[in-house]
Amino acid sequence: MFARETEGILPMLNPEELERYARHIVMREVGGPGQAKLKAARVLVIGAGGLGAPALMYLAAAGVGTLGVIDDDTVSLSNLQRQVIHSTCDIGRPKTDSARERIAAINPHVAVRTHNVRLDAGNALGLVGDYDVIADGSDNFATRYLVSDACYLAKRTLVTGALGVFDASLTTIRAHDRNAKGEANPTYRCLFPEPPPAGTVPTCAEAGVLGALAGVLGSMMALEVIRDIVGFGESLVGRLLMIDARSMRFETLNYARDPSNPLNGDSVTIRDLSSHR
């Protein structure tokens, strides 16, 4: 759960914010204290693409106080079918720039930090460690493993989603923490011990991607982040949500810590990010 909850330092909401977030504040599960937690929170979104775009927009609308967005790409025409934070006039611009402007238009109370760089082993810990919750909308396994390892080492909650052509999945990783039974939570490597062989999973450019499905999953990523910050309901820690858009079927798979995983397993072998260099 949100790291600073126990510190008791929550910002006040001004009259304009009270009106803006009125539909949250009347909810018993959120209320004024929950909205103040959102205002105090710092969330880093990896990628301003198909998943990151809707996640950023809903997190901004929800009143997350500081949003970070990391992406080293520029907007292309083929992005606009699903990356709804960008517009036609943004083609050729850095995605971080157009994302920042759209977030400011949605909610001027949100501070935006842009990182127009590629996440790598040299900068991951510094970037991840500067935020409370990480939402990973990256589109490749190398980045997902890097982000998940960095989040474990930095003791940060990770919400991570993945898209297929007509399928999608979502889970929350809090491997640095323990569950209600005192057991260590699973890592991303407990769920996916090894990445698939290179070339076996086609890119979205090769296989295609359903734009509306990206919107659904990105919005659900935002919901998981908000849940982690505010603290309501049952999170997806230890559970993988799977979506089949062909049959509109949702299933949840439970998974647990694998004692052989290299992060918090019985024989730890990953203590830094050197293996990602």
Confirm whether 13 is domain-assigned: no
* Cα first-last separation, the chain: 30
pLDDT exceeds cutoff 90 at 8 = no
pTM (predicted TM-score): 0.95
251 or 195, which is more confident? Answer: 251
Band of pLDDT at residue 165, cut at 50, 70 and 90: very high
The CATH number linked to 113 is 3.40.50.720
Domain that holds residue 34: 22-276
Q: Which residues pair with 169 in a beta bridge?
A: 162, 242
Between the CA atoms of 16, 95, 156 and 219, what dihedral angle is there, to the nearest 10 degrees? 60
Confirm whether 221 is domain-assigned: yes
pLDDT per position as a tens digit, 125-153: 999 999 999 999 999 999 999 999 999 99
Q: Domain total for the chain?
A: 1
Confirm whether 36 is domain-assigned: yes
Q: What is the pLDDT of residue 200?
A: 75
Confirm whether 146 is domain-assigned: yes
Confirm whether 83 is domain-assigned: yes
Confirm whether 5 is domain-assigned: no
d(CA 194, CA 17): 45
Confirm whether 142 is domain-assigned: yes
Confirm whether 141 is domain-assigned: yes
